[in-house]
Structure formats: structure tokens, C-alpha cells
Amino acid sequence: MTTTTATHCPYCALQCAMNLTDDAGSVTVAGREFPTNRGGLCKKGWTSAELLSSPERILEPMLRQPDGSFAGATWDEALDLIAARLADGRAEHGADSVGVFGGGGLTNEKAYQLGKFARLALGTSRIDYNGRFCMSSAAAAGNRAFGLDRGLPFPVEDLDAASTILILGSNVAQTMPPFIGHLEGARSAGGLIVVDPRRTATARLTENGAGSHVQPTPGTDLVLLLGLINVVINEKLVDLDYIDRRTIGFDELRRSVGQWWPERVQAETGVPVRQLRDLARRLAAGGGTYILTGRGVEQHVDGTDTATAAINLSLILGLVGTSHSGYGTLTGQGNGQGGREHGQKCDQLPGYRKITDPAARAHVAGVWGVHPDSIPGAGIPAVELLASMGEPGGIRTLLVHGANVVVSAPNAERVRAGLAALDFLVVCDFFFSETAALADIVLPVTQWAEEDGTMTSLEGRVIRRRTAVTAPAGVRSELWIFHELARRLHAPSTFGTDPAEVFDELCRASAGGPADYSGLSYGLLDTGEAAYWPYPAGSTGTPRLFQDRFQHADGRARIHPVRARGADAPAQQGGILTLITGRLLEHYQSGAQTRRVPELAQARPEARLQLHPATAAQLGVVDGGWVDVTNARGVVRCRAEVTVDIRHDTVFLPFHFPGEQSANRLTADRTDPVSGMPEFKRTTVRVRALAGEERGAHV
């Protein structure tokens, strides 16, 4: 029997539509017409079905044995043991000794139920998720400026009509290739502007008159934006009418940027004065202008301020909430948007409500059928949560869902040591990821094509994920796992296993919150109607936010002046360079899935350090030669890729690889004080060419 199911790609937040055809167990993928991808898919999407039948799939619960090996167990054995260890740990060390780490790839239903499970069944406040490494700075900036955070506050199709699009720190041509179709209008008008220290595939789209590539020194994006604001103000390019009607704070902003005259900005960023002025004038020229930010400018200790500066620039140009113009941020993970709206973030309850708000607690408690006081308060963000493993007063038990922290978290060797210091580690996964390999118990869970659910795309559109194939007999959905553990732990409330019922509960819990889903249902989503939140009951949704007002009580946006930190010493002194990390076309996140797809693994089997030819010559590095990349936190050993596509003072590593090629062995766990975002994009390292005998051991 052959069946075809309409669903969406399991990877990035573009959530490309696809059809899965199951012909007697052989599953094939075809692109499906949808506004974000228009029938196109990237390499990851085309090969996504291969993981469903991977020989590396975990097909039964696995328990670590005394000798360190794993052996299969029944579900009752595994869950009984987990429940007993959780109960004992809480009794001895308190509820906050149990930590929960979620993921931006979980469906809305799973993310919601995970937050509920942590707070009611476990009684812990110690829950956060890997979206803290992805969207947190942009989210904090959006909430600060607009009173609401939605990645793109407009449908992605709106970009088609733009004449100017400024992309800061995002390589969309490799991270979400179908997205570049929405840049064609700006390219045709010569208005695609890409800010990136590397000449990425996205930056190359600006060539041949299609736009311009701005290549600042790593870590100086905030200064660049302050300089653009200075030029816009001093050249009287601001939209004063918009500022007067719709914002607060412009006079303070004007005073705060006075020191960032173009020549000073050039000295700190390396961006020529003329290019800075031309960029400001282009943005102010009208005809449809959008400013989009990505992780490259947000994954810094000043990431929230940098995203805020981009918003300030958008506001004084009158772009936000107006026709054919706007500001947005490009969410990365598949459900990065929905994953942070419904409760797996340490300071939030469903509907993007603040967990410290008494009214929010009362509403959610009413849906859950518990007293508000039974819901724990705010927890701690992901980096701090992981750093507390094994520390006095820290977490002693950890449950991990949809994340591979040994590869994805900063200061990875410290994370590995923390995991080893735990009393008990449980990981839910499809495969033995690097984190699962350290667990006491690994629980095998359903993959994307084996389950129903909803995801929320980068444009705030809620979409349906549909079951296309039957899951292997030994795996279970996390919804079932939460239900079974909650029952064993005698938890209050109910923990449904039917995704449609859980979604209905999520919608009730979100009612009246900033991310209101109360008008949504599987029935409505199955009609194919576009569903953009907020979608209160009785409404038709909100494809375009902020057209009439912002979410602050007075309806005005907040222009929040920010200041750049003092300039650091130049990176390249005595062989010291600045490392930036990022993604490759063929791989996704920690690579736990894509490294198991033969076509993708063969195309990019290893991490390679990109460095400029002049830098390579100075260090004695040859293309394809082995290098050590070191700092006080660790060492990475990999091959070199010599390319003119990077600045001479900068090197680049992809973060998809484990072991001695893991880029996050080097990154610091310093965080943005507002968002908790780690600084992945600016790490000081030393690069050394390996001698012949050292290289020989790795050939």
C-alpha cells in the first residue's frame, strides 16, 4: 500500500513543506508548494527520510551497566527506575536538584508538556532549553522594544517586494537555502546588503551589482549599528513623523550616539566611511526596506544590545509595522519560535507569560487544576543550569530532551565534566548522540514523520506536522513518557498522550497571553488556513504585527539607547586570532542527525578551520594540513581550509562535529547579562601548524 502525507521538514525554522510517500516501508521526499519554500528543499530536507530507517536507531530503552556498556530493558523497567531515582533525589536534595533541558526542535505539544511536567511532576524550577543558545538575545531585544517577541512580525513573502534588505550576521544561503528566493527583488534592485566577517554564500549573492558586502571586525557589529544611527540622524534621514507618533526615547538615542562619528566607526570596525554613509542612505531611501538579524550579531555578551541597536535603527527609519518595510530576526531551530512560547524556558509559562506574574500564574494554574503556589518560580538560564551540575546546591539529576549539550553548549569540556559528576542522567533521543552516550538511561523516542504535532515557523505561523509512517515498535513519544512518569510520581493534573488534546490544553493555557493560540485547533490547521499568532478565539490571526500599535500599554515602541563596550586589543598579535563559529549547508545543529546521513556525511565528513592565505603563510599552514586551535579551555585538532573568503585576523569553525573537532571546546561560557546568551562568535585562539609526525597520526 502506498500513502502520501503532507507535512514539513524536521530541520530549520523555515519549515519547508514536503510530501512523504511511504511505499511498503520505502519513504521518499518531494517538495510541496508553500509560501516559505515554494516547493524547494535543501540537501538536508531531501535526505531527511533516511534517518527513519537508520541502522543506528535506538529501538528499546537502554540502561548503562556496571562495566559502562548498555543493555536493553523493557519500558516498565526503565520508567520504574527513573521514577524511583527522581523521587529519591528530590527527597534527599530537594526538587531543584533535578534539572530539565529541552530543545527548540520539540513540537509545541512536547515543549508545553515538558514545562508542565518539570513544574508539577518534578516540582523543579530548573528547566531551560537550547534555544537559549539561539534566539535569546533577539527575543530579549524584541520584548524590550516592542513588548512582544516574534521572529518575523510579517509573512516571509513580504520580503519579495523589498528593494533593500540588510542582513546582519546570517548565512541564509547555507542555513535555509529556499529562503534566498525571497531576496531576489532586493538583488534585482541592487539592494541586498550582507554584514558578515566572512564572504559566505549569502555574501556572494551581493556580487555583480546585486548589493554590497560589509565585512567588519568580529564583535564590532554594535559599533557599526551605532555609527549607522549617527549618520541617519546627522544627515536628517530619520522619519520624524513616525518617531513622534509611534515611539518613545529618540532624544536619548540622539545624545547617546554622538560619539560614533563615521571616522571613529571605521577605526573600530574596519568598515570604510564611504561604505557606512552609502549604507545609511540606501536604508533611508524607501521603496521597501527590511533589516534582518541573525546569530552572528546576537551570540555575543552584548548580543541583546546589538539586536536592540538594529531595532533602534529600524524605528528611526520608520520601518516597523509599516507597509512593505520592517525589522525581523531569523529564527534558526525548527521550532525555535514555538519552543520558547509555551513553558520550557526558565522564566516563562505557556502563552509567553512571565512566570513571576501573579495573574499569569493564576490563569495557568486554573487550566492545570492546581493552586498557583504549587508552580515553582523562575529558574536559571541554560548556561548557568549546566554550570551547576555537580556543584554544591546545583543539579544532581538531569533529564535531556531534544538536545546534545556535549557538542552544542559553550565550554564543552566543562559541560562533559558536569555530566559525569551527576548522580543520574536520562536522555531521550533517536540515536546515541554524544550526550546520550554519557547517560545512565537512554529512552528511544519517535521521529518527526512518526508523530502528529504542531510547529511555529520563523514567521510566527503555526503549522501541522503529521504522522506519515509507523514508528518502530519499541519507541515512544515524549508525551507518553511524561504521562507514564507523572503517573509513577503521583503528579497533580493530567498529562495527555494525544497530541490534539495536548494542543487544545496548550491553547487554553495561552489564552490572553502575548502568544495567544486560543483560536487554534487541529481542525482549523488542517483546513490549510494560514495561522499566525496571536490568534485569540474568534479572530483570524495576526500575519502582520505592530501595524496599529506595539504591545506596550501605551502602544508605543521603546527606543532604548545602548552603549558599546570598550574596544579590545586587535586580535592578531603574536599569532592570536579571533575564532567565529557557525553552520555548514550539509549539517544541522550538533550534527547528531545529519552526520548519520551518508550523503551529507560524505560531502562534509569533518570540521575544517577556515583561515586567510596571508595568515596561513605567516603560520606555516597549508591547505588541507593539520592544525591545533587552542586556548585556555581546550584544543581542537582539524584540517585547515585556506580561503580568501575570511578576514586575515579571523578564523572560522563549524560547530557540528564532536570530539577533538568540537568547536565548543574553545568557546567561553560568558553570557549576555540580559538574555543569558553565550558568546559563540568571538573567541580568542592560537593556531599552530602540526609537524609532520603529528599530522601523520591523523591522516
Contact 588, 42 (CB under 8 A): no
Find, among 262, 266, 269, 172, the residue nearest to 218 by Cα: 269
Provide block-wise average pLDDT over 10 residues at a time, the chain (699 residues): 94 96 92 95 96 96 97 98 97 97 96 98 97 91 96 96 96 96 97 97 97 96 98 98 98 97 97 98 95 93 96 98 93 88 94 97 98 97 96 97 96 97 97 97 97 96 96 97 98 97 98 97 94 97 96 97 73 80 94 95 97 96 97 97 96 96 96 94 95 56
What is the C-alpha separation between 86 and 127, in angstroms, rounded?
15
Tell me how far the alpha carbon of residue 490 is from its chain's centroid.
34
Please, which residues have CB within 8 angstroms of residue 663's CB and are 6 or more apart in sequence? 579, 581, 607, 636, 653, 654, 655, 657
Burial class (CB in 10 A: 0-12, 13-18, 19+), 240: exposed
- Residue 222 belongs to what H/E stretch? helix 221-234
563, amino acid identity: R
Q: Between β-strands 626-631 and 634-642, what pairing exists: parallel, antiparallel or unpaired?
A: antiparallel
114, amino acid identity: L
Asked whether the CA dihedral 602, 606, 610, 616 is positive or negative, the reply is negative
What is the C-alpha separation between 464 and 452, in angstroms, rounded?
7
In this structure, the number of other CB atoms found within 10 A of the CB of residue 81 comes to: 17
Contact 346, 378 (CB under 8 A): yes
Maximum alpha-carbon separation in the chain: 72
| Domains of the chain (ranges, CATH numbers) | 2-53 (2.20.25.90), 72-124+345-497 (3.40.50.740), 136-329 (3.40.228.10), 576-696 (2.40.40.20)
pTM of the model: 0.95
What is the C-alpha separation between 629 and 686, in angstroms, rounded?
6
In this structure, the number of other CB atoms found within 10 A of the CB of residue 613 comes to: 14
What is the C-alpha separation between 684 and 218, in angstroms, rounded?
11
What is the C-alpha separation between 258 and 229, in angstroms, rounded?
9
pLDDT at residue 334, rounded to an integer: 86
pLDDT at residue 573, rounded to an integer: 65
In this structure, the number of other CB atoms found within 10 A of the CB of residue 270 comes to: 16
What is the C-alpha separation between 257 and 658, in angstroms, rounded?
43
pLDDT at residue 654, rounded to an integer: 96
Burial class (CB in 10 A: 0-12, 13-18, 19+), 87: middle
300, amino acid identity: H
pLDDT at residue 25, rounded to an integer: 84
The grid coordinates listed for 170 are 546570517
Find, among 354, 310, 303, the residue nearest to 140 by Cα: 303
